Amino acid sequence: MIDFLWNLGSFVIALGMLITAHEYGHFWVARRCGVKVERFSIGFGRAIWRKVGQDGTEYVLAMIPLGGYVKMLDERVEEVPDELKDQAFNRKSVWKRIAIVAAGPLANFIFAIFALYFMYLIGVPSLKPVIESTQLNTPAAQIQVDEPMLITSVGGNTVRNWEEVTYALVGHIGDPEIDISVSPLSRSSDYSDTETTPRGTHYTLDTKGWQFDPEKESPITSLGLGIFRPEITPTLGLVSPDGAAAAAGIEVGDTLVALNGEPYGEWDDFVYSIKSSPNQAVQVTVRRDGEQLQYKVIPQARENDQGLMEGVIGVAPTQAEWPENMQLQLEYGFIESFGVAADKTWQLVVVSIKMIGKLVTGDVSVKNLSGPISIAQGAGSSANYGLVYFLGFLALISVNLGIINLLPLPVLDGGHLLYYFVEVITGRPVPEKIQEIGFRFGAAMLLMLMSIALFNDFSRL
């Protein structure tokens, strides 16, 4: 329940900020184009707060925080007094109408830049993209890894952490090949984190048959890249309160000694044995305060992704500290942060557009569409990690909101822009009847996409 309320609160805050930025873009440009704005509303439905400003605009905060709108004076919607007709939206030139409509998505991009600006100003703790192996019979198998290797570029773009590697790989889904550059980690101190020219050995990976399910794996591991992880120790760092281990008496800080009388070797072997014993008693030997203790544990059964039952006992090990030369603090100065934030926003725009294109071509399944539930979970988890991660999440969603609104669906800003550009070319407005047909088609398409996204959300719960 607490997680639900946290996710919901984070979602409302995030969506409220993004909607406010979007609608304020329309509002600000409309005012400067001489259009009278009658209402600026954040949310739909019954108003929980309202105020009429000195400018005559009614500012509203409504009950349902799933959108917002700016109501402008428009003769197509209602009767307009003669003395106010010069302030009506429909009376403005086509270029002013284009500017007003485009200002909403543009405000989302500007918001993303500012969110990332403060993120980089505060500083983002990151991990360098270091691999320690590659898997056989995968696209990455050709990469030679004799020591920890640092990924320096993907697709010709310099990458500094695993997040950037992930975004870069996602942008190449469906491509027949991907260029990756790697360099020995031992030489990474010779390079600057802000370098734009790829360094190291270059590989062209054959990805014609590369496919992965983002719900089950990351593009990194599915490509065959073995992510470096610090050594796993046998000391337990987590014991779930409602798990089988806790019920048996095992505690955080206990050190694994043996399983069914066999000495503990590797964590993966221990996990395999537990998974292979659903609802079957196992004997776990641990060391606590210098004393060895034995516990009878019955792993709880759960269904895995393949539909098979496996055992779980609700424990996790501790890991050694990350080596200092693999840690990275992405932090920039007051001026430099603007350039970095703008560049990052552009990268997000490019990746997002590529993903939409791959949805159209079928390279990416519609199962990957996410709706409000997934966004709420993302908002909650990012806020839980801290302000800098929440700012990064806001930037990502803001960019996506801006791009989605630019899609040429008549109910969206992009659809209105399409009509206005047709008007620029033909010299006359698109007929009302054609616009009405377009709005109905756009509403049906948007409803279909939202239905798919919601279905995907519920299937992931």
Following CA atoms 218, 219, 221, 225 in sequence, which dihedral angle do they give, to the nearest 10 degrees? -150
325: left (phi over 0), alpha (psi -120 to 50) or beta: alpha
For the question of residue 163 being annotated catalytic, the response is no
DSSP 237: E
Task: Compute the distance between CA of residue 291 and CA of residue 313 in angstroms, rounded to an integer.
Answer: 22
Vertex 35 angle, CA 30 and 39, to 5°: 80
Q: What is the DSSP letter of 264?
A: P
- How far is it, in rounded angstroms, from Cα 310 to Cα 305? 10
Place of tokens 């496919």: 211
* 360: β partners: none
> In angstroms, rounded to a whole number, what is the distance separating the alpha carbons of residues 122 and 249?
43
- State the DSSP code for 159: -
Rounded Cα–Cα distance for residues 328 and 334 (Å):
19
**Residue 390 Cα distances to 318, 396, 439, angstroms:** 26, 10, 35
Q: What are phi and psi of 178, to 5 degrees?
A: -135, 130
Q: Which helix (H) or strand (E) holds 385?
A: helix 372-385
**Which DSSP state fits 362?**
T
Residue 410 φ/ψ region, left for φ over 0, alpha for ψ in the -120 to 50 degree band, beta for the rest: alpha
For residues 232 and 215, give the distance between their C-alpha atoms in angstroms, rounded to a whole number: 25
Concatenating the DSSP letter of every residue in 400-454 gives HHHHHHTSS-TTSHHHHHHHHHHHHHHSSPPPHHHHHHHHHHHHHHHHHHHHHHH
DSSP labels for 281-340?
-EEEEEEETTEEEEEEE-PEEEE-TTS-EEEE--EEEEEPPPPGGGEEEE---TTHHHHH
DSSP state for residue 189 in the 8-state scheme = G
Question: DSSP string spanning 51-118?
Answer: EE-TTSPEEEEEEEEEEEEEEE--TTTS---GGGGGG-GGGS-HHHHHHHHHHHHHHHHHHHHHHHHH
Q: Which of 23, 163, 215, 310 is catalytic?
A: 23
Active site residues per annotation: 23
